[in-house]
Amino acid sequence: MLEQAVESLLAPQPDIRVSEVIYAQEDTLIQAVLDVHPDVIVFHENGLLNSNRIFDLLRTLPEMETLRVIILRSSNATMDFYEKRTVNATRAEDFVNLIRGQAAHP
């Protein structure tokens, strides 16, 4: 039911494409991410994987430089949002800028 709600909410958005809605075991999830290279993955808090395990698995995907993860929490109507970005950091100020929320130099 949740996947239908998410898909129906996103389908009318012209700049968003829902490529797959799956219930995935760990190996299926990793393979789907490798095949599709999504920009965003949406999980439900009561899904097959808990938050810690989701991030353990996503760390195994180093070739994905940018990935956003949203965990829906229907128990209290909140969402957790995480973003993985790989950036060049060749100068000390790059680190400081990332702490401040600024992008590193190109």
Reported confidence tier of residue 2, pLDDT bands at 50, 70, 90: low
Helices (H) and strands (E) in the chain, counts: 4, 3
| pLDDT at res. 81 | 87
Is 40 a member of any domain? yes
- As for how many domains the chain has, the answer is 1
Is 50 a member of any domain? yes
Is 35 a member of any domain? yes
Is 105 a member of any domain? no
Give the type of residue at 43: F
Is 7 a member of any domain? yes
Find the domain containing 85 and state its range.
Answer: 2-99
Is 8 a member of any domain? yes
* pTM of the full structure: 0.70
What CATH number is given to the structural domain containing 94?
Answer: 3.40.50
pLDDT digit string (tens) for 70-94? 888 878 888 888 887 777 888 888 8
Q: Which residues, in sequence order, are bridge partners of residue 83?
A: 68
Is 74 a member of any domain? yes
How many Cβ atoms from other residues are within 10 Å of residue 26's Cβ?
14
Contacts of 2 (CB under 8 A, 6+ apart): 44, 72, 74
CA distance 104 to 70: 24
Is 106 a member of any domain? no
